[in-house]
Amino acid sequence: MHEADLDKLAGMRLQLEVQVNTVESANINANTLDVMRRGANALRDIHNGLCVRLSHTLLLLALF
């Protein structure tokens, strides 16, 4: 009986470790999406201030 209890506890511990890893992974994914969202918003804000003439001027300045 004692050995069966130890095996059961080992299985429960393994399951908890898997769940912790899953939560940590989900947290990393949420942080990644947040950073990507903020980056997309920053790019949108930058592009909103550009017009064709300014874009062309900036391109020419970058080439020379």
State which amino acid sits at residue 1.
Answer: M
**Residue 50 carries which DSSP code?**
-
Give the pLDDT of residue 56: 85
Domain boundaries, the chain: 2-63
Give the pLDDT of residue 42: 94
Give the pLDDT of residue 1: 64
d(CA 64, CA 52): 19
Q: What phi-psi label fits residue 39: left (phi over 0), alpha (psi between -120 and 50 degrees) or beta?
A: alpha
What does the pLDDT profile of the chain (64 residues) look like in tens digits? 699 999 999 999 999 999 999 999 999 999 999 999 999 999 999 888 778 888 888 888 898 7
